[in-house]
Amino acid sequence: MELAHVDGGGEGALPALASLANRYAQREGLQFLEWRVHAVHCAKPNLKLRRVLERRGFVVRELPDVGECFWLRSAVNT
């Protein structure tokens, strides 16, 4: 799941997106979801989003062909 831009406070959209992504992954028989959130170097950083991501276990990583982003690999709830 790759998120590049969410207007109006992405921290509120994360639970809904996570639920949708998990249901899709279950339906497709996936075991893991890999999240990439490109909110590390925003012109106007959302500090609440950063706190929410860190609380959920996201870490800042440099990924090949992607760059620096918040990253998380999570097991699909079955």
CA distance 34 to 69: 12
* Stretch 24-52: mean pLDDT: 88
| pLDDT at residue number 30 | 96
User: What are the tokens at 4?
Assistant: 């590049």
Mean pLDDT of the chain: 87
Sign of CA dihedral 65, 68, 69, 74: positive
The pTM assigned to this predicted structure is 0.83
The per-residue DSSP string of 2-34 comes to EE---TT-HHHHHHHHHHHHHHHHHHHT-SEEE
69 CA to centre of own chain: 9
